[in-house]
């Protein structure tokens, strides 16, 4: 609302078409990733990151079929479940986790720490690498 008061156009990425944010935005990109079952909102966060990256690619003129590339990367990530389970077993006794990211990976570090805290109630911090 504050941005609109100052004359800015508002673009939103939302998962719910009728949400307040969607209604108050000038342009809305609907994520259509389905309802979130848990508190962590992993599907909608991941969809926002993917759509935002594709949007930036288009804004800067990189229109070289990255949608298919991104879809392949998502498939690859989803196929890694056995590896994730193995890593989880290795670290299950830990009580502190630090997620470190540099540049545009820093928000991923923050989100990773938030998800760890929300889902396991274990101490976790997201930090910027310099």
Mean pLDDT of the chain, nearest integer: 90
CB 15 within 8 A of CB 44: yes
Q: Is the pLDDT of residue 66 over 80?
A: no
For the stretch 106-128, pLDDT in tens is 999 999 999 999 999 999 999 99
pLDDT band, residue 90 (cuts 50/70/90): very high
Using CA atoms, how far apart are residues 124 and 110, in angstroms rounded to an integer? 9
DSSP for 92-122 reads TT--EEEEEE-GGGHHHHHHHHHHHHHHH--
Nearest to residue 124, comparing CAs of 90, 102, 112?
112
Q: How confident is the model at residue 71 (pLDDT cuts 50, 70, 90)?
A: confident
């Amino acid at each position: 609302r504050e941005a609109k008061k100052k004359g800015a156009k508002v673009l939103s990425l939302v998962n719910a078409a009728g949400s307040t944010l969607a209604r108050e935005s000038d342009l809305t990109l609907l994520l259509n990733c389905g309802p979130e079952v848990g508190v962590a909102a992993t599907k909608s966060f991941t969809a926002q990151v993917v759509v935002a990256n594709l949007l930036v690619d288009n804004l800067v003129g990189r229109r070289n079929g990255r949608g298919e590339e991104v879809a392949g990367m998502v498939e690859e990530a989803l196929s890694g479940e056995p590896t994730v389970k193995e890593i989880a077993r290795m670290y299950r006794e830990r009580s502190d986790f630090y997620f470190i990211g540099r540049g545009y990976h820093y928000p991923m570090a923050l989100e990773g720490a938030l998800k760890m805290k929300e889902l396991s109630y274990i101490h976790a911090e997201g930090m910027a690498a310099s």
